[in-house]
Amino acid sequence: MTADQLLILLAGTIMIILFSWFVSIRERRYHGIPRFFAFEGLLVLGLLNSPVWFKDPLSIPQIVSWLLFIFSIYYAFTAFRLFHRHGKPGRNFENTTRLVTTGLYHYVRHPMYGSLLFLGWGMFLKSMTWQTIVLIVIIAGALYITCKVEEKEMLKKFGDEYETYLTKTKMFIPYIY
């Protein structure tokens, strides 16, 4: 990594730590711990692959990468909009007061984390090396663990309503997984 990339990594890591602390961990929502590793992995993956983002733009991996970025943006935008409109979060956007099961949430339990998964795979496809393979496995694993921890938190908060929701929806991709 270059000196500039290391500086970005340091600044990004500090921001991720602060976000994880103030948004989740301080509120005793411990899904923020594995999510930290997903965010950190995405940051490192993005920095490692940044030199080749626009190299060979018409190759199949590049085209699929950009399609995954589009899915990521769609998931994130739609999820945030639905979450804020129907979830009625308090001062902390994660502390929703109502379970959201409409729109994209009708098909997918974790569209925000799905967005990060699509983003990670899109960045991975920019340059597939043994380092990026390790990073995407860490990112995918951390997001999966994040979801499982958050599901336990949601079961405590929403009880049977969330239990039913778990059985009716997929984790990341409608009708598939």
- Do residues 16 and 36 lie in contact, with contact meaning Cβ atoms separated by under 8 Å? yes
Residues 6+ apart with CB under 8 A from 21: 32
pLDDT band (50, 70, 90) for residue 174: very high
Q: What is the pTM assigned to this prediction?
A: 0.92
Q: At what angle do helices 111-124 and 130-158 cross, to 10 degrees?
A: 180
Domains of the chain, with CATH numbers? Answer: 3-168 (1.20.120.1630)
Residues 6+ apart with CB under 8 A from 43: 8, 9, 12, 13, 16
* pLDDT of 85 higher than 90: no
Among candidates 111, 93, 99, which has minimal Cα distance to 22?
Answer: 93
pLDDT band (50, 70, 90) for residue 89: confident
- pLDDT tens for 4-37 read 999 999 999 999 999 999 989 998 889 999 999 9
- pLDDT tens for 64-75 read 999 999 999 999
CA distance linking residue 75 with residue 119, whole number of Å: 10
Predicted local confidence at residue 27, as pLDDT:
86
pLDDT cut 90: percent of the chain above it: 82
